[in-house]
Homo-oligomer: A and B are copies of this chain.
Amino acid sequence: MKESVVIGELAWPEYARRIGVGQPVLIPIGALEQHGPHMSMNPDVLLPTAIGVGVAERIGALVAPAIAYGYKSQQKSGGGNHLCGTTSLDGHTLSSTVKDILKEFARHGARKVCLINGHFENSMFAVEGIDLALRELRWENVHDFQVVMLSYWDFVTDATIARIYPEGFPGWAVEHGGVLETSLMLHLHPHLVDMSCVPTHAAATFPPYDVFPTIREWTPASGCLSSAANATAEKGQLLFDVCVDGIVNALREAYDARSNGGKP
């Protein structure tokens, strides 16, 4: 069997050995969601998985199977959950999934876990799942289980933003199917992008409130919130590296902080 950081690709004795030596478990959490006419619907799973593998190879960690379905797309961050192709879970289902899985890794002996989020709307329901898992683990007398929760784009530095968006950064808010995700996909999975179909409309603008049911006209017909016309594989490489670097440092810092009374 090949060497791998991917849990699913290991036989259980090797997995047990690595957990036994304290390797962290990284869990990508994504979505099946439309990302415009130029890109496949799986970037929210593929990107945190690839970043997770990159991180795991650097720090000696394990990557769990991604949570492949996420919380409902919101209009101002993903176009809205009325769109065809977007396939989402109720919040409680997602929180329960996170809870159940975290407890299982704890049962195996894992004590350091990281959720790598690839879908904006997942965050709070993942946070709730973590809280519920930690609560039940306390009841199991497990008190040293630590979870880092992060979204990979939060590790893109200002310097990188300046290089990626020389024409000015529109904000993560409208980066759905935009330059960030498209560049990363061009770098990692170019056959899942067709730049000839990239929408070129202006970035979507929204009022400072949400309306339910969604007013569908507010979402561009493409499903993208901004144009990925300036996406390139080179930018993707740059983004990938800065995210992997940032998360590598973050995990070292976070897992140490715990043992050092909060001081990194």
Contacts and interface: CB of A to CB of B under 8 A. Distances in A.
Interface in A66-94: 66-69, 71-72, 74, 81, 83-93
Interface residues of A, number: 100
B12 A210 contact: no
Contact of A131 (B105, B194, B212): B212
Most buried by B among A42, A68, A85: A85
A109 interface: yes
Given A11-B39, A88-B104, A217-B263, A212 B130 contact: yes
A240 interface: no
Interface string A112-147: 000000000101110110111010001110000011
Nearest to A217: B262
A249 to B, nearest CB: 9
A36 B90 CA distance: 35
A238 to B, nearest CB: 17
A110 B209 CA distance: 20
Contact of A191 (B1, B81, B155, B253): B1
Interface stretch (A53-61, A95-103, A159-167): A95-103
Contact of A121 (B109, B124, B132, B211): B124
B97 A95 contact: no
A134 B89 contact: no
A105 B197 CA distance: 25
